Amino acid sequence: MMKLHEYPEIGEKLYSTVLPNGLEIRVIPKKDFSTCYAAFMTNYGGAHRRFTVDGRTVDTPAGVAHYLEHKMFDLPNGDNALSILSANGADPNAFTSSGVTCYYFQCTEGFEENLRMLLHFVSTPYFTDETVAKEQGIIAQEIRMGEDNPGMVVYYNLLGLLYDHHPIRDRVAGTVESISHITAQTLYDCHRVFYAPSNMVLCVEGCVDPETVARIAEEELPKERAEIPTADFGEKESMLPRERLCRVQGEVSAPQFFIGAKLDCAGHGEAALRQHLVAALCLRMLCGSSSPFYTRLYADGLLSVDFDYETDFSAGTGTVIIGGEGREPEKILEEFSREVERIAAEGFDTGSFERAKRASLGARLRGLEDFDNVCVSMAMGLLDGYCALDAFRLLESVTAEECRRFAAENLCRERLAMSIIEPKSAPTGTEETE
Q: Which residues pair with 420 in a beta bridge?
A: 247, 257
Gap between the Cα atoms of 381 and 370, Å rounded: 16
Q: Do 27 and 106 touch, CB atoms closer than 8 A? A: no
CA–CA distance, 44 with 215 (Å, rounded to integer): 25
What pairing do the DSSP bridges indicate for beta strands 101-107 and 36-42?
Answer: antiparallel
Cα 74 versus chain centre, distance: 25
Q: Exposed e or buried b for every residue in 52-84, given b needs 16+ CB within 10 A?
A: ebeeeeeebbbbbbbbbbbbbbbbeeeeebbeb
At CA 237, angle to CA 171 and CA 234, rounded to 5?
65
Q: Are strands 245-250 and 417-423 parallel, antiparallel or unpaired?
A: parallel
The span from the CA of 311 to the CA of 317, in Å, is: 10
First to last CA, the chain: 60
DSSP 223-288: SSPPPPPEE---SPPPSS-S-SEEEEEES-SS-EEEEEEEE----STHHHHHHHHHHHHHHHHHHS
Q: Say how far apart CA 145 and CA 176 lie, in whole Å.
A: 11
Query: Is the Cα torsion angle 391, 397, 402, 407 positive or negative in sign?
Result: positive
* Cα–Cα distance, 37 to 288 (Å, whole number): 31
Measured in whole angstroms, the distance separating CA 202 from the mean position of its chain's CA atoms is 16
69 part of the active site: yes
Catalytic residue among 24, 69, 135, 339: 69
Residue positions annotated with a catalytic role: 69
